[in-house]
Each structure stands twice: as structure tokens, then as C-alpha cells.
Structure 1
Amino acid sequence: MNDVSWTDILSAITAVFALLIAWTANKAAWSANRAAERANATADAVARVERDRWHHEMIPQFDVTITRLGPGSNQASLMLTFEGPAALERLDEVELEIRDDGYTHGVGHVTEDYQRELANTIWGPYRFKPGIDGATGIGRTSPAVPVELGGWIKRALEESFPPSWTDRTYWHERYGNDSPVRLWVRCRRDGYQPWTLTYNVRVVDPQD
């Protein structure tokens, strides 16, 4: 013990204190980082909730009607009017698509011709009239167009066609006057997440 000087002892004590200070500083830094991470996570969560709330409040509002061209006609006119919210002002793209009836069709049939015809059948009362307003070949979709608040989109419809294995009389009974046209309405506006809306629209006769 006589070989140990006070200088060595003080140096050792100083080293220990230095280690303690470094450990304390590292712990404080780690705690600060953890707190910052929690604060960032909380801020992100709050921002996400706010974005979702704002996105919900800005859901486009449409009035959608489908009217036959005349009693007994196999054609109809779809009118979609953009009614709000006022703060949205405009939509860069509005795309329309006719949905199927929601049932599974063609179970157990695997031939390519059958599957092709199955995919090309619209399982509902109407389709977009092919070749009019850019409607797709089978009349399922109408291409996206811009629309301003108070503006409208008008599209021509015609009765859908049954697949070759289905009797037309049965088809008309299944998708008769009371069967609604089921629609997807997909909306996009720069700076917003897209909206996808659904509508079930009854077809009505023209008013006198």
C-alpha cells in the first residue's frame, strides 16, 4: 500500500467519476432519445388521426339517378351530380364502374371459353353502352373525368346480356325492374387520399 501515491488514488477516483459521468450522460441521452421517439410516435399518430378525420369530412357527395329512356326501353341514362362538400370544390378524376350482384358465378366450370365469357358478363341489369363516352368493351367501366362542384356526369346505359348458358327470360326475371344498378364511384383529388364510394341505384321511368 505504501507504493500507492495519493496522486494514483486521485487519478483512480477521477477515472471512476469520469466513468460515472459518462454513464449518466449516456443514460440521459438514451432517455432523451426514447422520449423523442415516443413524442414523434405520438405526433405521427395524432397527424394520422387528423388526416383520417379530414379525409372523412371531405368524402365527395353525389346525387345519382338512373332513368329509362322510355317505358319498356332497354336503354337508360345515368346522371351523377357532384354536390359537396363545398370545401372540396373540384375532383380531378371521377371513375364509374358497374359492380356485379355480389354472388359467386361459374363454380366448377374451368374451361377457358367458359371462364372468358364469365369474365365478360356483367351480373346486373345494366351496363355502360360500349363505345359511348369511352365505355370499355363490355361496358363495365366509364373512364375517369374531372368534375367541379355542382357539375355532373351523364352516361348512357343499356340492358346487360346473359351468358350463353343462361335463358334470357330467367335473366330478365333475375335482374328485373326492382334490381338496382350497383356502382363503384372512385374519386381522386391532388393532395388527398382517393375515395371509393358505393351506390345501389334503382332504375326509374321518366316522369310525365
Structure 2
Amino acid sequence: MARIEAERWAAEQTPKLVVSFEPLFRRVRLYVFLEGPQHLKSVESLTVEVLNDDHDRSVNRPGGPTPEEINTQIWGPYQFIPGVNGADDIGRRVTVRSLNVGSSRSFEMKRTRPPYWQTSPNAEVKWYPHHPIRLRLICRHGDQEWVIVKSVSTEVPHDEDADQYEEPDV
């Protein structure tokens, strides 16, 4: 019974995170908002990690990239900008200290570039167009740790009113 009660308590404490995406010129801004629960008050740390797509890249071809190069590559549309907002050297993860309920943090991101061994024409244009950003968010508070996986759409909403706008006659 004690185990069931502990699991219920941990579930009630699970942070509710809202993640959104804002396109900027040549970059994007990712927002992480800690919505609740109110009784949690804050998390002591938040780690946001960019996850790879679901493709299996375990087969290594002779003369191809090394397993380390494959593992270092971010296989998705966006990465954090290395060194900005505390992002690591490859732009895979960033950790912030303390986030209060009702507060948010923003993180600068840039398009992930194709690896050097993918040399097709227009590789950058074809590199994950309109794919979601896959994230793992790790919240810590005391001895509790919660791992939350989210997928954030990178589709930019289309403004239908803009299509109907006509220049006035002069």
C-alpha cells in the first residue's frame, strides 16, 4: 500500500510543462513554461535535450562516418546554439537552475546542418523540412526526477487574412 501511495504522490507532483516554438530570422526560440502543479512551487533544475529521429543508424558502412560521428550528429531539424543559454558544445542539451511554477525560460535554436558525409545537392534545404523538434525534458526537485518527452511542431501557422488583403486603389 505504501508503494502505491508513493507512486500516486509522485504522479501528482509531475511537472506540467508547455513547450512552444517561435520562428525568428535565421533562428527559432523555444519556450518552456512550468504550468504546475501549484503545490510543487518550482523545480530545482530543468534539462532540455534534443532527441534524434527514430531511424536506426547502427549499420556502419566501410569508409563511412565513425560511430562517434553518427552519435554526435543531431538527427532532427533544430539544435540549441552551442554556448548560448548554457547549451553544450554540440547543441544537444541545456540545463537551467530553478524554474518556478508560472514562469518560463526561452532557448535560442538554429537549423541543424546535415553531416559532412551527406553531400547531395540542396542537402540543407531537404534536411528535415517541417519535422517536429523531439525533446526530452528532465525536471529535478529534491530526490525526485521526472522525464517528460514532447514533440514540438515546427509548422508556422498560415495567416489566411494575409491572402485576402488587397492593395487599395490609389
TM-score (ref. length: structure 2): 0.84
In the alignment, is the contact (CA less than 8 A) between 1:68 and 1:204 conserved in 2?
no
> Which structure features the higher share of helix residues?
1
1:169 has 2:122 as partner: yes
Q: Give the structure with higher Rg (CA).
A: 1
Query: In the alignment, which of 99, 105, 125 is matched to residue 147 of structure 1?
Result: 99
> Which structure features the higher share of strand residues?
2
In the alignment, is the contact (CA less than 8 A) between 1:97 and 1:185 conserved in 2?
yes
Unaligned runs of 5+ in 1: 1-45
- Counterpart of 1:101? 53
Q: Percent identity?
A: 29
Deviation sequence 1:56-91 (CA, Å, 0-9, x none):
111111111111104xx3x10000110001111110
- Counterpart of 1:117? 69
Using the TM superposition, give the Cα deviation of residue 133 of structure 1 relative to its aligned residue in structure 2, in angstroms.
1.1
Write the letter of the residue equivalent to 1:68.
P
In the alignment, is the contact (CA less than 8 A) between 1:69 and 1:206 conserved in 2?
no
SS of residue matched to 2:70: helix
Q: Distance in 2 between matches of 1:110 and 1:153?
A: 43
Q: Distance in 2 between matches of 1:168 and 1:135?
A: 30
Q: Distance in 1 between matches of 2:65 and 2:129?
A: 27
In the alignment, is the contact (CA less than 8 A) between 1:86 and 1:149 conserved in 2?
yes
- Counterpart of 1:61? 16
Unaligned runs of 5+ in 2: 160-170
1:202 has 2:153 as partner: yes
Mapping for residues 1-208 of structure 1, pairs under 5 Å: 46-70=1-25, 73=26, 75-109=27-61, 114-166=66-118, 167=120, 169-170=122-123, 172-177=125-130, 179-191=131-143, 193-205=144-156
SS of residue matched to 1:139: coil
In the alignment, is the contact (CA less than 8 A) between 2:17 and 2:32 conserved in 1?
yes
In the alignment, is the contact (CA less than 8 A) between 1:162 and 1:168 conserved in 2?
no
In the alignment, is the contact (CA less than 8 A) between 2:44 and 2:142 conserved in 1?
yes
